[in-house]
Amino acid sequence: MAGKRTHVAKITEIERLMNLGLTGRAIARALGVSRNTVRAVRETDIVQEEKSLEISLDPIEFKWTDLVQWNEIHRSVLEGVSLQVLWSEQVEDGRVPVQYPAFWKQYEKRFPENKTSMHRVFQPGSRVEIDYCDGIDIYDPTTGEILKTELFVGVLCHSRYAFA
């Protein structure tokens, strides 16, 4: 039978009790979990320790943010180049291994005074965006009936003309 997922708080409690030197059986009994759960947590801790030792032995550790020349990126953005275009160039050069939102967040962190925005241009009549949902309930005091409504909104993207 497949086991249930173990809550993070319970995992941290298992780790705490292991650090105190309790046996797996005693931990399982105290927390009401199976011994297999305790053993799985112990094994993942050992694997994590081995991985952290491997990482810490690496003498040169660069972050991708150190490889990007942010001042040049900022200068290009001020000249009108899209940040997404600059990101795609950085990805092609192999300097940036992350998706656009992570790149954008790093840029915003370094240059908070320059709030970037996205301006989309559409040809007239080429696109409409719609949304709909349940509306409000309207009470009719004369009949005592409650009328259910629905809401529909359509916006022409070029003119921003809205219909509801």
Q: pLDDT of 72-100, one tens digit each?
A: 999 998 888 888 899 999 988 888 888 88
Closest CA relative to residue 34, chosen from 67, 2, 62: 2
- What is the rounded end-to-end Cα distance, in angstroms, of the chain? 53
- Digit-coded pLDDT (tens) for 56-74: 444 444 588 888 899 999 9
The predicted structure's pLDDT at residue 121: 79
pLDDT more than 70, % of the chain: 83
What is the value of pTM for the model shown?
A: 0.37
Residue 48 confidence (pLDDT) above 80: no
Residue 130 confidence (pLDDT) above 70: yes
Q: Is 38 exposed, middle or buried (0-12, 13-18, 19+ CB in 10 A)?
A: buried
Q: Is 58 or 21 the better-scoring residue by pLDDT?
A: 21
DSSP 9-49: HHHHHHHHHHHTT--HHHHHHHHT--HHHHHHHHHHHHHHH
Say if CB 126 and CB 95 are below 8 A apart: no
- Digit-coded pLDDT (tens) for 32-43: 888 888 888 888
Domain ranges of the chain: 8-56, 64-110, 128-163
We find that the CATH architecture of domain 8-56 is Orthogonal Bundle (1.10)
The predicted structure's pLDDT at residue 163: 83
The predicted structure's pLDDT at residue 57: 41
Q: CA 25, 19, 44 angle in degrees (round to 5)?
A: 75
Range with the poorest average pLDDT among 50-54, 69-73, 102-106, 121-125: 50-54
Q: Can you tell me the mean pLDDT for 42-49?
A: 67
The predicted structure's pLDDT at residue 60: 44
